[in-house]
Structures are given as C-alpha cells and as structure tokens.
C-alpha cells in the first residue's frame, strides 16, 4: 500500500466525506473510510490564518494499493481540485 497525505484549505469536512463516498468509500466505526483497494481517514485541522482571515483546513490520509492509486485516487483528486472554486 502507498500512502498520500493531503492538507486541504477551503474544503469543508462534510464535502470531503461525500467525495469519499462517491468513490465507493464506506465509513467504519473507527473513523476510516474503506473502499476497494484503499482506505482513508480525514480530520479537521486548525484554521489557516491570513491576517484577519481564517480559512478551514482538512487533512486526508489515503492508503491505496497500486490499482486504487491508478484508478480511484485520480478521480478523488479531480474532485478535490474543483472544491472551493
């Protein structure tokens, strides 16, 4: 399994949860999303501050096998790029 870590600004936690479900992730009781050949955990981070502006942040930890990294992760990354814009 290969690990990828993303720190995403301006993405609400609830939206990332939807994205993980859209790529067939199922939320487990331990907080991990499990999908075919992958697992992921998300957590809200402290807000990022730019002067008086505060921007929310979310951390995504993704573990995937070779197939999931090649086929599923790019779909998830495309969704994450569109967020906030």
Report the pLDDT value the prediction gives residue 85, as an integer from 0 to 100.
Answer: 43
Q: Please list the pLDDT of the chain residue by residue as tens digits (85 residues).
A: 899 999 988 888 999 999 999 999 999 999 999 999 999 999 999 888 888 988 888 999 999 999 999 999 999 999 888 654 4
Contacts 24+ apart (CB under 8 A), 74-77: 75/23, 76/19, 76/20, 76/23
pTM equals 0.84
Q: What does the domain layout of the chain look like in residue ranges?
A: 2-82
Is the separation of the CB atoms in 45 and 9 below 8 Å?
no
- Are 8 and 77 within 8 A, CB to CB? no
- For 2-82, give the CATH class: alpha beta
């Amino acid at each position: 399994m290969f690990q990828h870590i993303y720190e995403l600004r301006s993405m609400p936690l609830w939206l990332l949860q939807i994205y993980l479900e859209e790529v067939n992730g199922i939320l487990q009781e331990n907080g991990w999303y499990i999908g075919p050949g992958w697992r992921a955990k998300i957590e809200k981070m402290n807000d990022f501050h730019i002067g008086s502006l505060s921007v929310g942040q979310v951390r995504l930890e993704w573990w995937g096998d070779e197939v999931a990294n090649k086929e599923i992760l790019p779909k998830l990354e495309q969704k994450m790029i569109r967020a906030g814009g």
